[in-house]
Amino acid sequence: MKFRDGMWLVAEGMRVEYAEDVYTTTEKKNGLSLLCPTKHVRSRGDTLNLSTLTIDIEATADGVLSVESTHWAGALNRGPHYELYPAGKPETEAKISKSDQGTTLQSGSIASTIHPDQHTFDISFHSSDGKKQLTSLQTRSVGLAYSPAPSTPMQTEDMRNFKHYIFNQTTLGVGESVHGLGERFGAFNKVGQSVALWNADGGTSSDQVYKNVPFWMSSRGYGIFIDTPRKVEMEIGSERCCRVQTSVEGQRLKWYIIYGPTPKEVLYRYSLLTGKPGKVPSWSFGLWLTTSFTTNYNEGTVNSFLEGMKARGSPVDVFHYDCFWMKAFTWTDFVFDAEMFPDPKGQITRLKASGLCQKVCVWINPYIAQHGEAFKKAAEMGYLLKRKNGDVWQWDLWQAGMGLVDITNPEACAWYAECLNALFDKGVDALKTDFGERIPTTDVQWHDNSVDPEKMHNYYAFAYNKLVYEALQKRYGNDEAVLFARTATAGCQRFPLQWGGDCESTAEAMAESVRGGLSLGLSGFGFWSADIGGFEGYPPPWIYKRWVAFGLLCSHSRLHGSNSYRVPWTIDNDDNTEQGCSRTLARWTALKTRLMPYLFAQAQVSVESGVPLSLRAMCLEFPNDPTSWYLDRQFMIGDSLLAAPIFEESGEVEFYLPKGKWTSFFTNEVKTGPGWFKEKHGFGTLPLYVKEDTVLVLGKAKQQGAVYDYCQDVEVCLYETKPGAKTTLVGKDGKTVGVLEVGEDGDLKSTDILKGDWSSGQKKIRSDEAFESL
């Protein structure tokens, strides 16, 4: 939303009024309240016939300040509201001081100073020690706007004919970059972009995204969370090149500024505000295989897939039944298609008993088709969203006559959870919560009539995924619940995990997916996946194999397609050579399995810190390297492994190594950064580099499945380590077992926690054994 036409003119049809003065500054509990007229007040007469904005700045936690701008305070502030500080609000002490520099409010490590001159509108945000300037609100940065522009204030007697906006503009420093805002598939640095935070089913090749998160991170060491689920429109250096503009329709706008100073500390404080990532069980890190979307399958097909995967060296940990486990026109009624699956409980039991998979997932969504068994009861009982005239809200987009579960109705939620329990009774362990983006906002009446329909559009993702996640927790335990969710908003990191939605089977779409995963990770989400091979279309073998290498280095790895299968032998006519799809998938699956001691330990760090496991943006580990803020074709896996996917059929790739020594996992070649490097790879390798001073624990070779004893028969590899280098080992339950540390002699100090036939040494993976040992 642009309110101006360039520097000098107001946009056509707009009336814009800016806070010009800080007329009074009033101390209140935990903060300051600023009365800001929209023109300079130089005489008593100037206080008449003008609007004011109230700006409330409060200390909310160490390193966190909230800022709220309000025009008319009498406007209702209808829910839903984000659940903030879900684990409990930390105590904080607001410190207010005055000097010739102005009035300063301090909240731990962050402070805000209001300029002492009433007529100089300047609110700065900085570190409490004054050494770091973060951003500021300067002249013409806080305001309100009407559309269309009223010709007289008398017209605002009836606001039904006008739209009213509140906006803030924070300054952008020279060279400052902006990242996050959810799973965005466009340019990694958002400066120069117009962004609308509005969940939509737009695939991965458009500016529409499934997961809009009103949080962004700056390269200057701070982040901003916009505290509203309503539609937020942002101009990030795109209306004024030196400012980030945030606007909402309404009478108030509240946001939080979070100081790091490092990006990891920003994410940690943000995770306290909106919730830490939920824990994910070790089995979820294994290979997932789906039936794909519109493909034809039955029990025999499922068995043949799993048997074929096992025979080709890629055993499946989780098998997923996509939509057509139910009959056409009946989604979602929670009833297995009796013709294709006459004995679903028995089939699932047999699959697990045979060892062909460990867990089973099925596809669900909150849309209830008119022709399914669930619709009649849900409609009769009032469990579906209604129109204002009392009709059930329905349309024919996606499913014929579908309704939408009214997530504000506690009885509807209880009914939906009962439906899920019936699936759990059949042996279902995890749920893919698809859709939830196309939530209507007009001509709707929610069961809870106090909610704002516009806010419900984005918030629905939170409420729906929370409902399903908590049903899983109740059945299987707090740390065993796993979703595969497509839509999300702030706080949904509490309900892992998420995947990247409908991508095409192209190199460009793979790059889009990388950018989406990086951006979501910088929005507080710990775990993420993408459809290996691409969802839409038919991937050529080289795309499939390059995507396999990328996908098995994501925190979670799933093979999934739309109208074609993703089992490897269907991609290349069952090429059984070393360069074929089946052998390539087997190698990368084996590598991820061996990495599980490292990955699962790093996963626990992600849960506690709010930092993503993989894809982890380079800037999180190397914030002082300016290049790291622009790297969108590579990522960190935890804090010690760097991976660069390959997007060329030829295997050529260019990547960047930050300062220090980096050892190729596959060849043991040591490169020294900072610098750009070019390599060429077959399908069995890619640039996978280990950071110096790393103690890397690998599971034993030939290990099958993601769940095993991560201390038994392991290989401990030391990469350019110095005394004091250490790593933490966890059990398959995620609990800490102990720490391995390098002593003064360059070897491990204590190895009591290791069991069986384990080994250690400098860079134990040799180039001639790179995959033979897997």
pLDDT of residue 735: 97
425 is catalytic: no
Q: What is the pLDDT of residues 230-266, one digit of tens each?
A: 999 999 999 999 999 999 999 999 999 999 999 999 9
Q: Rg of the chain's alpha carbons, rounded to an integer? A: 27
Mean pLDDT over residues 106-120, rounded? 98
Confidence category of residue 765, pLDDT binned at 50, 70, 90: very low
Rounded to whole angstroms, the Cα distance separating 648 from 644 reads: 12
764 pLDDT more than 60? no
pLDDT of residue 770: 43
Q: What is the pLDDT of residues 656-700, one digit of tens each?
A: 999 999 999 999 999 999 999 999 999 999 999 999 999 999 999
Q: What is the pLDDT of residues 615-631, one digit of tens each?
A: 999 999 999 999 999 99
Confidence category of residue 529, pLDDT binned at 50, 70, 90: very high
User: Among positive and negative, which fits the CA dihedral 592, 598, 604, 608?
Assistant: negative
From residue 708, how far is each of 315, 727, 731 by CA, in Å?
Answer: 14, 19, 9
CA neighbor of 292 nearest in space, from 534, 582, 544: 534
Average pLDDT, the chain: 96
pLDDT of residue 709: 97
693: region left, alpha or beta (phi > 0 left; psi from -120 to 50 alpha): left
Using DSSP bridges, classify how beta strands 670-680 and 4-5 pair: parallel, antiparallel or unpaired.
unpaired
Q: What is the pLDDT of residues 305-338, one digit of tens each?
A: 999 999 999 999 999 999 999 999 999 999 999 9
710 pLDDT more than 90? yes
Full DSSP string of 72-91: -TTS---S-----STT-PPP
Confidence category of residue 774, pLDDT binned at 50, 70, 90: very low
pLDDT of residue 533: 97
502 is catalytic: yes
Q: Residue 598 belongs to what H/E stretch?
A: helix 596-609
The CATH number of the structural domain formed by 282-364+408-608 is 3.20.20.80
pLDDT of residue 277: 98
Q: Residue 112 belongs to what H/E stretch?
A: strand 110-114
Q: What is the pLDDT of residues 748-759, one digit of tens each?
A: 998 999 999 998
The CATH number of the structural domain formed by 10-76+86-163 is 2.60.40.1760
CA neighbor of 773 nearest in space, from 701, 700, 668, 696: 701
State pTM to two decimals.
0.96
Where exactly are the structural domains of the chain?
A: 10-76+86-163, 282-364+408-608, 629-769
pLDDT of residue 230: 98
Structure tokens at 464: 């729906």
Mean pLDDT over residues 575-604, rounded? 97
773 pLDDT more than 60? no
Rounded to whole angstroms, the Cα distance separating 639 from 240 reads: 36
Rounded to whole angstroms, the Cα distance separating 314 from 284 reads: 15
Confidence category of residue 766, pLDDT binned at 50, 70, 90: very low
pLDDT of residue 548: 98
Instruction: Give the angle subtended at the CA of 67 by the CAs of 66 and 69, to the nearest 5°.
Output: 150
Residue 379 φ/ψ, nearest 5 degrees: -70, -45
Architecture of domain 629-769: Sandwich (2.60)
pLDDT of residue 760: 82
Catalytic residue among 183, 317, 502, 531: 502
Confidence category of residue 763, pLDDT binned at 50, 70, 90: low
CA neighbor of 69 nearest in space, from 58, 82, 78, 79: 58
Mean pLDDT over residues 696-721, rounded? 96
767 pLDDT more than 80? no
Catalytic residue among 317, 437, 531, 715: 437
For residue 460, give every residue at least 6 positions away whose Cβ sits within 8 Å of its Cβ, in sequence order, or none. 366, 407, 436, 439, 487
769 pLDDT more than 70? no
How remote is the C-alpha of 188 from its chain's centroid? Answer: 14
CA neighbor of 527 nearest in space, from 619, 600, 474: 600
Do the two domains 10-76+86-163 and 629-769 of this chain adopt the same fold? yes
pLDDT of residue 78: 97
115 pLDDT more than 60? yes
Catalytic residue among 227, 434, 536, 621: 434
Mean pLDDT over residues 81-95, rounded? 95
